Amino acid sequence: MRVCVLMGSPRPKGNTAELCKPFVARLTELGAETEVVTLYDKHVAPCLGCYRCQRVPNAYGCPQADDMAGIVDSILKADVLVFATPIYTWQSTPQIKAVMDRMYGLNKFYCGAERAVLNEGQSYALLTTCGYDLDYGAGLLDEGIRRWCEHSGLPYIGMCAVRDEDDLASFQTEEAIATARAFAERVFRQETEQAGA
């Protein structure tokens, strides 16, 4: 099993990165091959809405020359794609949002394109940190990814969220670590069941 974690925090040693440590460690213990793609050090321009990607069958097709092509390579190699992000104003960080928007080229649905999903069969999951009650703070992003999966016909494993009550220390507690490890087990189990179905 291959898991790609898109680390969307602009802080390489921030809360979300801390929560990812036990998550990735547990996946590795279970035998998953895990790649963490940091976005804070990448240049991903916003989607231009030009639809040129839709006119390129069987390939990503975005004409912009930036770091997104390499990110797409990592995405397409994975069985599971995990969006790891803190919540900023009830949504993902700009780094993750730019990648999400640019993933438009993975779905060939528009401009007369022959319908295709380049990452068909891939599962999505969300690992997030926020400063509010979890449903209130992270619920909108969770629902957005759920709808994206429905639209693309992709399985959604779900969300793991931990609340920031004491900055970095909130994500170093036994409870936070256990939550992240349990989510890794859920990702591994559900993807194993999906592959065997």
Could you read off the pLDDT of 148-158 as tens digits, one per residue? 999 999 999 99
Considering only CA atoms, give the Rg of the chain. Answer: 16
**DSSP percent split of the chain into helix, strand, coil, nearest 5:** 45, 20, 35
Non-local (6+) Cβ contacts of 100 within 8 A are 83, 92, 148
- What distance lies between CA 182 and its chain's CA centroid? 18
- pTM comes to 0.96
- 15-45 residue pLDDT tens: 999 999 999 999 999 999 999 999 999 999 9
Location of structure tokens 């998953």:
32
The pLDDT score that the predictor gives to residue 197 is 64
Helices (H) and strands (E) in the chain, counts: 5, 7
Least Cα distance to 160 among 181, 146, 174 occurs for 181
Quick: pLDDT tens for 118-171. Answer: 999 999 999 999 999 999 999 999 999 999 999 999 999 999 999 999 899 999
Range of the domain at 182: 2-196
Helix H, strand E, coil C: the string for 162-184 is EECCECEHHHCCHHHHHHHHHHH
The domain that holds 156 is classified in CATH as 3.40.50.360
The pLDDT score that the predictor gives to residue 111 is 85
Domain total of the chain: 1
Please state, rounded to an integer, the average pLDDT across all residues of the chain. Answer: 96
* Percent of the chain whose pLDDT exceeds 90: 92
CA distances from 27 to 24, 94, 132, 147 (A): 5, 27, 27, 26
